[in-house]
Chains A and B, each alone.
Chain A
Amino acid sequence: MSTRQSILVVDDVLDNLRLLSGILADKNYMVRPVPDGVLAISAAQAEPPDLILLDIMMPEMSGYEVCEQLKTDERTRDIPVIFLSAKNEVMDKVKAFSLGAVDYITKPFQAEEVVARVETHLTLRNLQRRLTEQNHIMSETLQQLKATQDQLIHQEKMAALGQLIAGIAHEINTPLGAIRASISNISNALDTSLQELPQLFQQLSPERQADFFALLQTALGTTEHLSSREARKKRRALKETLEAHGITQAHTLANTLVNMGIYRDISLFLPLLREENTVSIVQTAYHLFMQQNNSRNILNAVDRASKIVFALKNYAHYDHSGQKLKADVIEGIDVVLTLYHNQLKKGITVTKNYEDVPFIAGYPDELKQVWTNLIDNAIHAMNGQGELEISVQIEGGHPPKPSHDGEREMPSYIVVRITDFGHGIPEDIRERVFEPFFTTKSAGEGSGLGLDIVCKIIDRHQGKIEVESQPGKTTFSVFLAIET
């Protein structure tokens, strides 16, 4: 590729063409002389020159027309055009510029003038090209940066999740344990019942059979759940009551009855309890009751496991659309709390103060990352032991007074406050906590990007974040705009 710049010279007068070619060739430009407009246009389209010197007064097609054509074609639009003409009226010059020319030289011209202007415009054109190129590079780089940022945010999120997985696995194992045990219990109880029942009904009188069913009904109807401590108390009390009524094997009976939720008015069942084989009667009832109880356990365990799986799916979800969705702030916080339940259980009491708040337009996945970062930091600040308070309220939005027409409502916000009672943030670093890559955690423990990402996410929700801290108490307040 030639490093010489090429200039297309257009003039119907051959002497002029020769003169200009000579002047420009002397300055080491590559000159392409052309005697008319039509040829000029096709030459420019075929091999776009770096600059065009254009005579105006030409037969068949004037310089103005040539210029107009050049400016409509993409290939030639950006080539600088300098008009050369004997016409010297202001209107002629104005017309030239209005057609897109960059300069106007009147004939007769001085060689030095032509050269100076040509050089100037070529330089300008080069600078322009470089600028366009650089803009293009910047724009590509910006795209890459944005993509990287998105990736970083996603990685942060997955890293946080990775930390939680061990605890979450345990959380799921517990309901699974309950389910497995319950099913084997039901199976055993059913086998036992199938053997016990026929014998039982042969032995019991019709009245006692009725009592048996009454006992069973009462047991199946209980919904109250006793803690182990309460159950122990009730067992003792019932044992004493039974002994007072002269019933033998009071200990075993009391245990079984309390396990069935029967400990209140037992006078109805005294006849049954005085039967000779009362222990096996009551245990038969218990085996039947157990099946329903274990079924209930299974349902509860399944609910519990589902809740955890839901929280996981919800958290790991990555919305690619970039569109704002309806965000339920409270649900998002609760999902994060569910995932952190295992860590919190090890020594942190959580207090929730939720007001009724509306949905907002936002990015639910990103908001969960905000809660994750803030809750994780809070746990870290307390070394895993202490109290965590989370409140969700509406603030702002005072309605305009009646006397002021046209006064707009103050914007209202959902305010989420996360408070920990940990070591606090020293005043000298309080400003820095939101800085990217700033972290007080030891190397490898934290990327330092958490709060920076939190800020960016909150920006995208037209919100703000504030922190108040003293040793022993730190509160992060997140304001999310409620758009009406």
Chain B
Amino acid sequence: MSKKAILCVDDESTILTSLGDQLQSHFGDRYVYEFAESADEALEVIEELNKDGLEILVIVSDWLMPGMKGDEFLIQVHQQYPTIVTVMLTGQANEEAIERVRREANLHHCLYKPWREEELIETLISRLQ
């Protein structure tokens, strides 16, 4: 009965809305979708979902955000929840940062903005099975 969750993190709300619409349109009600506009907020959401007993399957996160950057965030999350699939969605290729996340957070895939919807969905499907 308890659904699993997909968390999207980006400081631009238009990106979050776009992601949400794409996920809803492909996965419908199969998953719960949550959104956060910063790494700090995302950590709060993860706490809340834990309390509600919802398992987080995937986190899609931007890299460049005010405050904690996406790489630091994903690495921190991976340490606490090593089973969560991590995906980065970024407009800027900071190769160093991406490498770090690959090594220390088992980064599944890095998507570049502007991303193609098919690529996003395929990336998720491959790990959601």
List the interface of chain A (C-beta within 8 A of B): 166-167, 169-171, 173-174, 176-182, 184-185, 188-189, 192, 225, 227-229, 231-232, 251-252, 255, 259, 290, 293-294, 297, 300-301, 342, 345-347
A439 to B43, CA, bound (A): 43
Bound complex: CA A170 to CA B45 (Å): 27
In this assembly, does B21 line the interface, its C-beta being within 8 Å of a C-beta of chain A?
Answer: yes
Which of B16, B22, B25 contacts A228 (CB under 8 A)?
B16
15 A-B contacts, Cβ less than 8 Å apart? A170-B91, A170-B92, A173-B92, A173-B112, A173-B114, A174-B15, A174-B91, A174-B113, A179-B114, A180-B116, A184-B117, A185-B21, A225-B13, A259-B20, A293-B17
Q: Which residues of B contact A170 (CB under 8 A)?
A: 64, 91-92
Q: What 8 A-B pairs have minimum CB-CB distances, sorted nearest first?
A: A181-B18, A177-B113, A173-B91, A170-B92, A177-B114, A180-B114, A228-B35, A178-B14
CA distance A182 to B17 in the complex (A): 9
Q: Which of B14, B21, B91 contacts A300 (CB 8 A)?
A: B14
19 other A-B residue contacts (CB within 8 Å) besides A184-B117, A301-B14: A170-B64, A170-B92, A173-B112, A173-B114, A174-B12, A174-B91, A176-B114, A177-B115, A178-B12, A181-B15, A181-B19, A182-B18, A192-B25, A228-B13, A228-B35, A229-B37, A229-B41, A252-B29, A293-B17
CB distance from A423 to the nearest CB of B (A): 22
A297 and B66 form a contact (CB under 8 A): no
* Residue from A177, A185, A232, A346 within 8 A of B15 (CB atoms): A177
B105 at the interface (CB under 8 A from A): no
Chain B: minimal CB distance from A348 (Å): 9
B residues 29-88 near A (Cβ < 8 Å) are 29, 32-37, 41, 45, 64, 66
**Which residue of chain A is the closest to B89 with respect to CB atoms?**
A177
- A185 touching B13, Cβ below 8 Å: no
Q: Give every chain B residue within 8 A of A293 (Cβ-Cβ).
A: 17
Of the candidates A169, A176, A294, which one forms a contact with B21 in the assembled complex, judged by CB atoms under 8 Å apart?
A: A294
Instruction: Output the residue of A180, A225, A251 with the most chain B CB within 10 A.
Output: A180
Q: Which residue of B lies closest to A180 (CB)?
A: B114
Residues of the B chain whose Cβ atoms lie less than 8 Å from the Cβ of A259: 20
Closest residue of chain A to B120, judged by CB?
A181
Q: Which of A166, A231, A300 contacts B35 (CB 8 A)?
A: A231
Q: Restricting to B96-129, which residues have a CB under 8 Å from any CB of A?
A: 112-117
Contacts of A232 in B (CB 8 A): 34-35, 45
With A181-B22, A229-B37 known as contacts, the answer to whether A345 contacts B64 (CB < 8 A) is yes
Q: Is the CB of B20 within 8 A of A346?
A: no
Contact of B25 among A188, A227, A347 (CB under 8 A): A188
Beta-carbon nearest neighbor of B112 in chain A: A173
Q: B19's closest neighbor in chain A, by CB?
A: A181
A181 touches B91 (CB 8 A): no
B64 touches A181 (CB 8 A): no
Q: Which residues of the partner chain A approach B16 to less than 8 Å between Cβ atoms? A: 228
Distance, CA A345 to CA B62, complexed state (A): 14
Cα distance, A259 to B25, chains bound together (Å): 14
Q: Report the minimum CB–CB distance from A458 to chain B (whole Å).
A: 33
Contact indicator A181/B35 (Cβ below 8 Å): no
Chain A residue with minimal CB distance to B12? A174
Q: How far is the CB of A307 from chain B (nearest CB, A)?
A: 15
Task: With both chains docked as a complex, state the minimum distance between the C-beta of B70 and any C-beta of chain A, in angstroms.
Answer: 12
Q: What A residues does B45 contact at CB under 8 A?
A: 232
Chain B residues contacting A297 (CB-CB under 8 Å) are 14, 17-18
Contacts of A177 in B (CB 8 A): 15, 18, 91, 113-115
Inter-chain CA distance A185–B24, complex, in Å, is 10
CA distance A232 to B25 in the complex (A): 20
Q: Among the listed B18, B92, B115, which residue makes an inter-chain contact with A166, where contact means beta carbons less than 8 Å apart?
A: B92
Q: With a CB–CB cut-off of 8 A, which chain B residues contact A252? A: 29
B13→A227 contact, CB < 8 A = yes
Q: Which residue of A lies closest to B3 (CB)?
A: A251
Q: How far is the CA of A154 from the CA of B37 in the complex (A)?
A: 40
Determine the chain B residues whose CB is within 8 A of the CB of A179 once the complex forms. Answer: 114
A300 vs B117: C-alpha distance in the bound complex, in angstroms? 20
Out of A255, A294, A300, A346, which one reaches B64, CB within 8 Å? A346
For residue A251, which residues in chain B have a CB less than 8 angstroms away from its CB?
32
Closest A residue to B44 by beta carbon equals A229
Chain A proximity of B20: nearest CB distance (Å)? 7
Contacts of B116 in A (CB 8 A): 180
